[in-house]
Amino acid sequence: MSKRVGIREVAAAAGVSVTTVSHSLSGGGQLSDATRERVKSVAEGLNYAPNRLASGLRSKRSQIIGFVSDEISTTPYAGNVLLGAQEAAAANDQVLMVVNSNRNSKVEDLGIEALLQHRVDGIIYARMYHQAVELPAALSGIPTVLLDASSDRTDLSSVVPDEEGAAHTAMEHLIEAGHRRIGYLGNIDDIPATRGRLAGYRAALTEHGIAFDESLVTMSESMTAPGRDAASRMLAQPNRPTALFCFNDRIAMGAYQAAQLAGLAIPNDLSIVSIDNFEVLADALLPGLTSIALPHYEMGRWAIERLAAELAGDAESAPQQIRMHCPLVQRQSVGPPPR
């Protein structure tokens, strides 16, 4: 077995000091680009791999980030959150250690204890959907960023979707297509998305001089069957809406079924827009469902990058509470209102 090449061998081969090698490979120090590139080239030629354990001991960093979630890793809806976080961590030479509690507080407590025993540098405290949270006491004093979660604490950075903005974007798309009588199929749960999306619906109506009509708003569980029932009742009105804005893609699928039962073609007779952009569902519906995408991947990346900035003590490392833009993904479920 060949002997492991150390930093001294790289320094000797490059004709520089050990400190220069260290700075060249870490990005630190005041070195010319030519020197950095020459040292990197020599290190690669010798198959030199830095000893990250020793580096971690010197910097008092483990390069491990704890990711605590309720059920993100066991559901298909928010998996891109993890992907974004993992890719951002890898870009920082960090490892993501994931704990999934399945909404069991005891499991979460045990997971956090294990992460702290591994001396993680910080924690991403994440939820599958936007909700208000209280940070566990065990994380007091631990650098933490909230992901798809919010808190009254201004000393914590957090990132959530812009719920009101997402609804406003959906409504703008329908109004620009010519719709004025737009129904809203909302959600009964007491969560930020319920309040924010209804607010966005109402704000868009007001901006365009369209009177709010309570008969065009109904709330149900955010699943397909309740959505179908709610849409069927709305479409049975004598002066039915020409378009529906749905709280999420599962309710929208119920609205598709209700339209079919009522003999209405999408988008010729009825236009539909929702929020989620759950691609497995939105792409599979015929016609394809126009939906507002929740920025799961982008939120995952942002949380890791924000934690890295706070750990580094950057000038802009003061806690931030971000509402992230949600883009429109157009498919084929929107058209002009029927004559």
- Indicate the domain borders of the chain: 7-50, 64-161+296-324, 163-293
The model's confidence at residue 3, banded by pLDDT at 50, 70 and 90, is low
- What is the Cα–Cα distance from 156 to 136, expressed in whole angstroms? 13
For residue 299, the model assigns a pLDDT of 95
Cis peptide before 267 (omega within 30 of 0): yes
Helix, coil or strand: residue 19: helix
pTM: 0.79
Q: Higher confidence at residue 40 or residue 78?
A: 40
SS3 154: coil
Residue 339: burial class (beta carbons within 10 Å; 0-12, 13-18, 19+)? exposed
- CATH architecture group of domain 163-293: 3-Layer(aba) Sandwich (3.40)
Lowest mean pLDDT among 65-69, 70-74, 291-295: 70-74
> Do the domains 163-293 and 64-161+296-324 match in fold?
yes
pLDDT digits (tens, 9 = 90+) for 260-278: 999 999 999 999 999 999 9
Amino acid 316: pLDDT: 64
Domain 64-161+296-324 CATH assignment equals 3.40.50.2300: yes
- Rounded to 5 degrees, φ, ψ at 195 are -70, -45
User: Of all helices (H) and strands (E), which one includes residue 234?
Assistant: helix 224-235
Q: Please say if the pLDDT value at position 56 is more than 60.
A: no
